[in-house]
Chain A
Amino acid sequence: AQSVTQLDSQVPVFEEAPVELRCNYSSSVSVYLFWYVQYPNQGLQLLLKYLSGSTLVKGINGFEAEFNKSQTSFHLRKPSVHISDTAEYFCAVTNNQGGKLIFGQGTELSVKP
């Protein structure tokens, strides 16, 4: 069975500082990996995804993530955050045998001035 662990439930950070949101997964088969963002009172929006190819994936709003197969990780990074990045971030995994997404518990990113 697949599972996703987001190691930090809350990450407070000051504006313009770098941030890393950690995600580890477990799966016995090949996986596709995703990061979604949920702004307050809004629906889930895709930030970026890894399907195959280059392990460094760039997404919207200056975010990027690196797929590390040996460490079964897919950490999300941004070199300089803005107040507007305050939101809940979800890591998710699916395999090539089915479409359902398995989500982590979420990380609340709080950017302070």
Chain B
Amino acid sequence: GAGVSQTPSNKVTEKGKYVELRCDPISGHTALYWYRQSLGQGPEFLIYFQGTGAADDSGLPNDRFFAVRPEGSVSTLKIQRTERGDSAVYLCASSAGFADTQYFGPGTRLTVL
């Protein structure tokens, strides 16, 4: 079956602009996670959804970052007033439930000029 997909694969934007990154999880997976991976680092947790609600958003770095999952499937990560330090690969993962194996998408590479 289809895995986790993320669009776009690459996004180049200018400092101060707004961006949206999309994640399509594996069908039927109730849990969805966003991570950020900077160059040479391991992925860093941002936010976790169980169904439509954010169960843990402790990893969001500041209020410029926001994520939604309105129907419990597709999720969008939104970044306002982008900064050069936001440049990274943004990873999405989904799992069948809490503590089940997380399956990762290919990521969106965000570059803020």
A residues whose Cβ falls under 8 Å from a Cβ of B: 4, 6, 32, 36, 42-46, 49, 51, 90, 92, 94, 96, 98-106
B residues whose Cβ falls under 8 Å from a Cβ of A: 4, 31, 33, 35, 40-45, 48, 50, 55-56, 59, 91, 93, 95, 98-99, 101-107
8 contacts between A and B (CB under 8 A): A4-B42, A43-B4, A43-B106, A44-B91, A99-B31, A99-B48, A99-B99, A102-B45
Q: Is the CB of B42 within 8 A of A103?
A: yes
Nearest chain A CB to B58's CB is how many angstroms away? Answer: 8
Main secondary structure of the interface of A (DSSP, over half): strand
Interface centre among A46, A92, A100 (most CB of B within 10 A): A100
Q: Is the CB of B99 within 8 A of A106?
A: no
Q: Is the CB of A98 within 8 A of B48?
A: yes
> Contact check: which of B55, B99, B106 meets A94 at CB < 8 Å?
B99
> Contact check: which of B33, B104, B106 meets A100 at CB < 8 Å?
B33
